[in-house]
Homo-oligomer: A and B are copies of this chain.
């Protein structure tokens, strides 16, 4: 399993998901209940366990801005302080649940997992297109029963579009075209670019733009490890660079628990922004694509879970982006004070190492990873 990166912001929900119903999400193994205050102004995030007998507060109810435990009525204010207990007026001074720093930005609810003193809202990566004039966005969220590292692998290596998403967003050129990869180690950003000068236009773009011939297609990935992935997509008809369509595909990758991840996805466009039918098409079509990934990653995780200890991967040029992302994630966890996290930091999805070293012999080690520069 890929180690969790703590002391980080993660997307917990879309702003629109958090209202006056209690919303339960588990993030990096921490159960959290979310709700919006009556004035609508702020989102509250509390540990989802009553101090009394550990009953989940998410199975409770709101009374104004307080949460009333559904089992015995312990009542908490938005800071997590218990303000009422049954049968007595004195409140134990230790009756308090943890509250989490929350920031709403770009229509996303970000929560800080780690030491609250280190929570710096300015460190949250931006996705302004999700909530800006001149842009229209469709979105959804799918939980996946897979290590979040498998989702990172998936998104950083788009050659799979050709096979897993054939007939949707993939064409032969995606897998055929080499990539360029760069890493900003300090900012924890991995960039992967692929430029296809003359490619078939997949149905996703043909139907959304009306282009019926071949296209120039450019994919520019920015992965802000560990939490946010942006795919800047630009297409235009071959030979007509002025007729360009710009789409931003956003993924927020939020590890839920070991082997579980929330896959927040959004498709934003700067054209035909008032076209409601296009909204419906893009939502449904992209959701189909996401479900193809969900099914594949669920299958892959079940497969890896049933492998005997120490299986082997074989990496090639096309994996450069995903391997770079693994290295960045490993460095982020290695930097943590927690020794246990640090020791696990080097582990990529599965038990294979993520080094992009020259190909090792397959007999050398059952858990070796081979990489080929072909």
Residues of A within 8 A of B (CB): 29, 31, 49, 51-56, 59, 68-73, 85-96, 153, 157, 159-160, 162-164, 175-179, 296, 299-300, 303-304, 306-308, 311-318, 350, 359-362, 370, 372, 374
Which 7 interchain pairs have the tightest Cβ spacing? A90-B374, A86-B175, A88-B374, A87-B318, A92-B372, A94-B362, A86-B159
Give the complex CA separation of A304 and B50 in angstroms: 12
Once the chains are docked, how many angstroms separate the CA of A71 from the CA of B51?
Answer: 46
Are A317 and B72 in contact, CB atoms less than 8 angstroms apart? no
- Of all chain B residues, the one with the shortest Cβ separation from A296 is B71
B93 and A303: CB pair below 8 A? no
Bound: A176/B59 CA distance, A: 22
Residues in B with CB closer than 8 Å to A89 are 374
**CA of A337 to CA of B54, assembled, Å:** 33
Q: How far is the CB of A173 from chain B (nearest CB, A)?
A: 11
Are A160 and B362 in touch, CB under 8 angstroms?
no
Q: Are A87 and B163 in contact (CB under 8 A)?
A: no
> Are the CB atoms of A153 and B359 closer together than 8 Å?
no
Q: How many copies does the complex hold?
A: 3
Say whether, besides A175-B72, A318-B88, A361-B94, A300 and B55 are in contact (CB < 8 Å): yes
Among B70, B90, B175, which residue has its beta carbon within 8 angstroms of that of A296?
B70
Interchain Cβ contacts under 8 Å between A and B, 7 examples: A52-B316, A54-B300, A54-B311, A68-B163, A69-B163, A71-B300, A73-B175
Complexed CA–CA distance, A163 and B50 (Å):
14
What distance in Å separates the Cβ of A228 from its nearest Cβ neighbour in chain B?
23
User: What are the residues of chain B within 8 A of A162 when measuring CB–CB?
Assistant: 73, 86
Pick from B54, B163, B179, B317: contact of A73, CB under 8 Å: B163
What distance in Å separates the Cβ of A192 from its nearest Cβ neighbour in chain B? 12
Which chain B residues lie closer than 8 Å to A318 at the CB level?
A: 72, 85-88
**Beyond A53-B153, A72-B318, 19 extra complex contacts between A and B, CB < 8 Å:** A31-B303, A51-B314, A52-B313, A53-B313, A54-B350, A55-B296, A55-B299, A59-B296, A71-B160, A73-B175, A86-B176, A86-B318, A87-B179, A89-B374, A90-B372, A92-B359, A92-B374, A94-B360, A96-B362
Distance between Cα atoms of A91 and B72 in the complex (Å): 59
